[in-house]
Amino acid sequence: MEFIDLKAQYQALKPQIQARIDAVLEHGQYIMGPEVKELEGKLAAFTGAKHCITVASGTEALLMSLMALDVKPGDEIITTPFTFVATAEMIVLLGAIPVFVDVEPDTGNINANLIEAAITPRTKAIMPVSLYGQTADMDAINAIAAKHGNLPVIEDAAQSFGATYKGRQSCNLSTIGCTSFFPSKPLGCYGDGGAIFTNDDALAQAMREIRVHGQSQRYVHTRIGVGGRMDTLQCAITLAKFERFAWEVEQRKEIGQRYTDQLLSLQDPRSDSPETIEVLTIRPERTSVYAQYTVMVPQREAVQKRLSVAGIPTAVHYPVPLNEQPAYKHLCCPECTPVAKGMAKRVMSLPMHTSLTVEDQMRVLGVMLEADSTDNQIELIVQ
């Protein structure tokens, strides 16, 4: 069984992908070719954001957003310690300070109720992460930001392109949304890629300049920038994949919901046994694209080993909160974020992709719960 299945997805889209690649090879505009604008137009329309700026990666999207907001050494950015390292890394790269706020125990997302206490006169922005494909409580975060001098809010939406919050699309929920097209993300290209979304004309202009070395006109470098473009071939591949993205999002939701429903029914929900595997909550006002399907397992190593022996791959997102990592631990004591600390010890992600069958899912759950998969109980629930 595959953890993610990019080969099956390629087989399903092969003619479209090949045609798109061929078109680029024929016209030869490998940098900023027509596919770049075409993709930006389609993604902007999908999210409802006024501007989409494709960039070299999700990491670069975060860096360029912070640069556009003029983040300087000593500035504080409020974020979560329970995320992929890039979120805090780009803050530190600019000499700014990530201020880690603890997460919600049922979603793993930054806890909006704890943000206000972390705001100081040096706070420059708030950077929530939409973990595992579900956004944080963005309206609550935006309200806090508005109250404190209109602080900008950057959504690290690297895992949540296609998710919604109160019916609105992730990436278009705050000042800036940043996503990634790393191959394993919900919408992935065949290399590195990413995009930034905003409704703010001035920020969009700044980020377009930052993308090409701060250039406002040819050889006029108005500001400091980076080499941050997404290449035409990757945009072309993403365009082909985007054609069935809406269908994939629906599939992912169905598969994620099935894992949850089955886990809840296979285990006695009233049981407080230390062996009980906990599901994460998708809050009613949000939909997840399940970038990962993640559960909380008390005996993680033993369960991972059992699954591995049965040929079922798992992963841990993330085993160590950032404030316990060697390069970051001086910034905040891990005891300040006890929920993140506890979750990092228990989270485990299961295979998640659109070619996963109901039988695959039942086998994963059977092995994980140490049930015999021929057990009547499991057979019954499948039907």
Ligand X SMILES: *Cc1c(COP(=O)(O)O)cnc(C)c1O
Q: CA-CA distance, 155 to 170, in Å (whole number)?
A: 8
> Sign (positive/negative) of CA torsion 165, 169, 175, 177?
positive
Task: State in angstroms the smallest separation of the CB of 52 from ligand X.
Answer: 16
Binds ligand X by CB under 6 A, chosen from 47, 57, 107, 294: 57
Using rule CB under 6 A, residue 129 touches ligand X: yes
The answer to whether the peptide bond before residue 318 is cis (omega within 30 degrees of 0) is yes
347 touches ligand X (CB under 6 A): no
Q: Which is nearer to ligand X, 17 or 158 (CB)?
A: 158
Give CA separation, 162 vs 165, 167, 179, 357, in Å.
Answer: 10, 11, 10, 22
CB-nearest residue to ligand X = 58
CA distance 332 to 361: 39
By the rule CB under 6 A, 111 interacts with ligand X: no
Site membership for ligand X, residue 154 (CB under 6 A): no
46 is a contact residue toward ligand X (CB under 6 A): no
Give helix 58-68 / helix 86-93 axis angle, nearest 10°.
40
Q: How far, in Å, CA of 169 to CA of 175, rounded?
A: 13
Binders of ligand X among 285-324, rule CB under 6 A? none
What is the rounded CA–CA span in Å between residue 161 and residue 152?
A: 20
Is the Cβ of residue 35 or residue 192 nearer to ligand X in the bound state?
192
Looking up tokens 């027509």 gives: 34
Q: Does 238 bind ligand X (CB under 6 A)?
A: no
Binding status of residue 152 toward ligand X by CB under 6 A? no
86 lies in the binding site for ligand X (CB under 6 A): yes
Would you give the binding string for ligand X spanning residues 192-221, x where CB under 6 A is met?
Answer: x-x---------------------------
CA distances from 169 to 56, 259, 359 (A): 22, 24, 31
Work out how close the CB of 187 gets to ligand X at its nearest, in angstroms, rounded to a whole number. Answer: 11
* By CB under 6 A, residue 128 contacts ligand X: no
Residues in the chain, total: 383
Residue 291 CA, distance from chain mean position: 7
Q: How far is the CB of 60 from ligand X (least distance, A)?
A: 7
Residue 159 lies near ligand X (rule: CB under 6 A): yes
Q: Is 156 in the site for ligand X (CB under 6 A)?
A: yes
- The correct pick among 182, 259, 293, 328 for binding ligand X (CB under 6 A) is 182
- Cβ 309 to ligand X shortest distance, Å: 28
Which of 79, 80, 87, 232 touches ligand X (CB under 6 A)? 87
- Total residues contacting ligand X by CB under 6 A comes to 15
Q: Which two tokens stand for residue 335?
A: 């005891």
Using CB under 6 A as the binding rule, whether residue 109 contacts ligand X is answered as no
R_g of the chain, CA atoms, integer Å? 21
Q: How far is the CB of 130 from ligand X (least distance, A)?
A: 8
Taking the least distance from each CB to ligand X, the nearer of 130 and 169 is: 130
Q: Does 83 bind ligand X (CB under 6 A)?
A: yes
Q: Is 84 in the site for ligand X (CB under 6 A)?
A: yes
Cα 206 versus chain centre, distance: 24
Q: Are strands 97-100 and 76-79 parallel, antiparallel or unpaired?
A: parallel
Q: Which two tokens mark 288?
A: 């997840």
Distance between CA 76 and CA 125 in Å, rounded?
7
Q: Does 81 bind ligand X (CB under 6 A)?
A: no
> Cα separations (Å) of 115 from 102, 145, 311, 322?
9, 9, 42, 17
Q: Which residues bind ligand X (CB under 6 A)?
A: 57-59, 83-84, 86-87, 129, 156, 158-159, 180, 182, 192, 194
